[in-house]
A and B are shown apart, each in its own frame.
Chain A
Amino acid sequence: MSGILTYALHYEGAFNKNSLGAVSEGAKLAKEIGGEAAVVVVGDPSELSDELCGSLGKYGAAKVYRANAPEGLGAPVVDVMAKVIQDEGYSYALFGGGLLGFEIGAGLTARLNVGVTMEVTEVDAQDGKLVAKRPILQDSAVVDVDYVGEPGVIIGRLNAFDAEESGDATAEVVDVDVQLEEHSTKATMVQRGEQRGADVNIEDAEILVAGGRGLGKAEGFEMCESLAEAMGGAVAATRAVVDAGWYPYAAQIGQTGKTVAPKLYLAAGISGAIQHKVGMQASENIVAINKDPNAPIFEFSDLGVVGDLNKIVPKLAEAVKEKKGG
């Protein structure tokens, strides 16, 4: 059967937004190539009710394969998807953006000896086949990628596919019994989803002042906080500084953090890596302060300021205060 198989990641009783995007996109593409849209979900049976699984029908899935296997790690899902593909014959495996999809997609590539394309921003159906569009080299070019043989593995970029409810259909839920490979049982989750640092709310802010490694040290964030306070906004961060323990995870923007679209996103000491860009590029106005004139962030800023943030940010906070006060 030609068709598209997606994977829906879930946590605390809800499906991941990017997974739902993949389910919607898969349903749309399946229609175009004349095949079935199906989804694999993996986890403890107590977490995966018929109702929850069936609800993927709202996003266009006809069938949901449910397997009792550990959730949150790549290899068990590879085992399940490989079996479903081998037994039922899907032509493509599609993943939303994030992290796990990269690991599962890569595992399938090896297991089935098939092609993979990652960071895909668009998929075109042509003559019953799919062509994946992938930006490369810091988004300076986009390549169209075709697959030799089946299934083709497509790993989307964060937010590339929108989750769209297309109706209120219920998907058929099919339980699959999969014997995990030995190596898939050799990694075990000890703790999942630990929130490091304070629980700050940045999603409702209309103005975000974001800081990156260019702040030099954790204390550098004080400058961002003063500016954010003057502007009436909140403070956001990159993975680099969150990993370094300079700022809370709850403030992280990007591929494994939050997606925001404030009126103003002011980035200080942020290079503009793709994984950060995908979480903030929809902002209405982007201002970047960076001392490196070649920093990628200037490619997608509305206002770029080339200079030392240590000099600029404190003065900017003062000037904003003055302007607002007067």
Chain B
Amino acid sequence: MKICVLVKEVPDAAVEKRMDEGSMRIDRSGEKNLNPFDTHAIEAAMQVKEGGEVDVEEVVAVTMGPESAFRALHKAVSLGADRSVHLTDEALAGSDVCATGYALSKVLEAESPDLVLLGQQSDDGECYTIGAVVADHLKMPSLTQVIKMDVAEGKLTCERQAEYGYDTVEVELPAVISVGDAINEPRYPSLKAIMGAKKKPLETKATGDAGIEGDRVGDDGSRTKVLAINPPPQKEAGEIIEDEDTDETVQKIVAWMDERKLLA
């Protein structure tokens, strides 16, 4: 069995994220990191591999992104992936969900995996959708927000929370699964794994290598256009209490609530 994990490089959690008014895209300058939600997908792949229920030959990390994104792949490999594929091309810049999902599906098609794993959301784009887009292109069944995944020969039994409570769904392989962050506690990479990551095979592909039609990706191939960026509706800033002396803090909270007749 072969597992592909889709990973993305995103601005580091500590970086204040903002839009770039010129390009109408997220400003992705500054410190970057592997999308934290994707570490759960890698961990899920490793648990399938180590679980012994099925034989996993390979875990392959796949990303689409600018040149710098190879670092997200190194991180994915240090967490256990065997090799990685980096789809990178100027022509891809500005791709929306439709274009990104299409492009990633072309890379996956060539890999022909039995299982594709993704994170529940990218920390910057927060679209929650790439999994289902990729799945439809690959003509595979899919499920998002999965928090429990039992693997057996040829099928998965998945659990996830939907609108009315928890659903249990049986999914035949090959399949595309986006995992929720409650599925596992990702491991930390060992120093040895971090050092060794650069030596694992990393293949770089341009659009042509992946058979991606140029007019379906990038700014021009995208099916949505950002017309304007506006500030959010303003909400009056709340009061802030820094807790130094807890007795005092608590009295302040009580007084605040009492003023609003919440303790009647």
Question: Which residues of A are in contact with B by a Cβ distance under 8 Å?
Answer: 9, 11, 16, 72-75, 78, 98-100, 102-107, 109-111, 113-119, 131, 135-149, 152, 155, 181-184, 186-196, 207, 231, 239-240, 242-244, 249, 256, 263-264, 274, 285-287, 293, 298-308, 311-312, 315-316, 318-320, 323-324
Contacts and interface: CB of A to CB of B under 8 A. Distances in A.
Interface in B202-227: 216, 222-227
A192 B164 contact: yes
A307 B240 CA distance: 11
Nearest to A285: B260
Given A141-B230, A249-B161, A323-B263, A306 B241 contact: yes
Contacts of B127: 118
B153 interface: no
Contacts of B239: 302-304
A106 B167 contact: no
Given A135-B232, A146-B225, A187 B257 contact: no
20 contacts: A75-B135, A103-B142, A103-B144, A109-B97, A109-B223, A110-B101, A110-B134, A113-B216, A118-B129, A145-B227, A146-B226, A188-B170, A191-B166, A192-B164, A194-B166, A287-B253, A287-B257, A300-B235, A302-B238, A312-B243
B131 A106 contact: yes
Given A102-B128, A145-B227, 17 more contacts: A75-B136, A103-B132, A113-B98, A115-B222, A118-B127, A148-B224, A182-B139, A187-B142, A193-B164, A264-B260, A285-B260, A303-B256, A304-B240, A305-B241, A315-B247, A323-B254, A323-B263
A75 to B, nearest CB: 6
Nearest to A311: B246
B143 interface: yes
Contact of A116 (B98, B102, B226, B241): B98
Tell me the interface secondary structure of chain A in the complex: mixed
Interface in B245-264: 246-247, 249-251, 253-254, 256-258, 260, 262-263
A144 B135 contact: no
Contacts of A148: 222-225
Interface in B95-140: 96-98, 101-102, 105, 124, 126-137, 139-140
B200 interface: no
Interface residues of B, number: 82
B44 to A, nearest CB: 14
B52 interface: no
B109 to A, nearest CB: 13
Contact of B170 (A140, A183, A187, A298): A187
A119 B232 CA distance: 14
A141 B231 contact: yes
A15 B254 CA distance: 42
B18 interface: yes
> Shortest 10 CB-CB distances between A and B: which pairs?
A307-B243, A115-B223, A106-B132, A243-B182, A110-B136, A193-B164, A115-B224, A106-B129, A186-B141, A187-B141
Which of B97, B129, B136, B161 is packed against the most chain A CB atoms within 10 Å? B136
Contacts of B257: 264, 285, 287, 320
B227 A141 contact: no
Nearest to A105: B129
B22 interface: no
A283 to B, nearest CB: 11
